[in-house]
Amino acid sequence: MAVQLPRTNKSGFYEIRMESVGGLGANVAGKILGEAGVLAMGLNGANFASYGAEKKGTPVKSFVRFCAPDQQVRTASPVEFPHLLAILHESLIRAGIAQEGITHDTTVVVNSTHPAEKIRQDLGMCGGALGVIDASGIAAAEKSRANMVMLGAMTRASGFLDQQAIRDAVSENLGHKYPKLLQGNLRALDRGFSELELQQFSCDLEHPDQPLRRAGPPIGYENGPMGGTIVNPGNTMEKDLSAARMGRIPLYDHDKCINCGKCEYTCPDFCYTFTDGTDHKGRRGRIFAGIDYRYCKGCLRCVEACPTEALTAGDDNEEYVAEHTTSQMKAGS
């Protein structure tokens, strides 16, 4: 006997979208959700993902559709207006990508350490439900990944997905390949389920059925340059690649720095800036001028290279990054 879907769209589907970046495991999480729903919960459904270059840090979307077992799935179009939206990397909100298609009754789960009210405002939500969980922190503590915590949180937020069915699908998918990591993954999943707090919001919009945002290309056939010319080659307008970070950043302690430059040689993304100046002992030379976090992917090679512990590993923190990426760096890039 199939579980009852709590609500469906006009085509009879309950739709889920995961907004993520390459390397966080949204594709695997979508596969596990789809398998659990179809093989263990008696639903019909489909799962697929959309991504560009197969590179860590590039945007990834994973989609899952469920419907009654006697209904055929005749669409493979992206999920535009999800019933359940999971955002695995917070910088996708800042980029304005993740919140597309949120409606007055979308349930949103976000991986963040920020208060729910701030996230709600950033998302522009009116109505719906929101759950914020520190999936990266829990994943690090359990030696797992954020996708497992978010799977647990999504299971809880959906109101109909069966926790045991998801656990079994995780064991089936990851148990053979990574047997030593399975218990940690299951703990992360269970913590996502039990630690999510979902808040409901009311909507005072005059026409609440209209989606608050709808995806649209910034440049299309009506406003694109002649001949499809790329006028800003190799760059985004903001040159902000911070979505590529995997939850960790180098933190800098000025007092311990000896201006040796090892961090600069080591960084594969040229994040380090040096300038002419005077060091602690009054000697003239090239001195450390800061880390341009916009390009930092959090690999932490610089932390390993630093001989004085002037660089240490810390959790990715939007405020710290904004404070330490100076306007001179932005102007000079």
CA distance 297 to 154: 26
Which regions of the chain does DSSP assign to beta strands (E)? 14-21, 44-51, 59-67, 84-87, 107-111, 129-133, 198-200, 248-252, 272-278, 284-291, 311-315
Considering only 8-16, 54-62, 264-272, 315-323, which stretch makes contact with ligand SF4 by CB under 6 A? 264-272
| Residue 246 binds ligand SF4 (CB under 6 A) | no
Count other C-beta atoms under 10 Å from residue 137's C-beta. 15
Least distance to ligand SF4, CB of residue 91, Å: 15
Q: Which residue from 195, 301, 314, 324 is in contact with ligand SF4, where contact means CB under 6 A?
A: 301
| Residue 125 binds ligand SF4 (CB under 6 A) | no
The torsion of the CA quartet 140, 57, 158, 93, rounded to 10 degrees, works out to 110
The answer to whether the CB of 154 falls within 8 A of the CB of 163 is: no
Structure tokens at 246: 């995997």
| Residue 260 binds ligand SF4 (CB under 6 A) | yes
| Residue 329 binds ligand SF4 (CB under 6 A) | no
Task: Please state the φ and ψ torsions of residue 3, each to the nearest 5 degrees.
Answer: -70, 160
| Residue 244 binds ligand SF4 (CB under 6 A) | no
Considering only 16-24, 51-59, 94-102, 265-273, which stretch makes contact with ligand SF4 by CB under 6 A? 265-273
Considering only 150-158, 190-198, 211-219, 295-303, which stretch makes contact with ligand SF4 by CB under 6 A? 295-303
DSSP state of 254: G
Least distance to ligand SF4, CB of residue 113, Å: 19
Structure tokens at 227: 């001949």
| Residue 56 binds ligand SF4 (CB under 6 A) | no
Considering only 10-18, 79-87, 226-234, 299-307, which stretch makes contact with ligand SF4 by CB under 6 A? 299-307
Which regions of 104-230 does DSSP assign to beta strands (E)? 107-111, 129-133, 198-200
Concatenate the DSSP letters of all residues of 256-294 into one string: G-----HHHHH-TT--EEEEEEE-TTS-EEEEEEEE-GG
The answer to whether the CB of 78 falls within 8 A of the CB of 55 is: no
| Residue 81 binds ligand SF4 (CB under 6 A) | no
Considering only 92-100, 175-183, 221-229, 258-266, which stretch makes contact with ligand SF4 by CB under 6 A? 258-266
**In this complex, which beta carbon is closest to ligand SF4, that of residue 61 or of residue 297?**
297
Considering only 7-15, 59-67, 93-101, 304-312, which stretch makes contact with ligand SF4 by CB under 6 A? 304-312
Least distance to ligand SF4, CB of residue 237, Å: 21
Q: Which residue from 29, 135, 148, 299 is in contact with ligand SF4, where contact means CB under 6 A?
A: 299
Least distance to ligand SF4, CB of residue 258, Å: 5
CA distance 309 to 263: 11
Contacting positions for ligand SF4 (CB under 6 A): 250, 257-263, 266-267, 269, 271, 288, 291, 296-302, 305-306, 308, 310-311
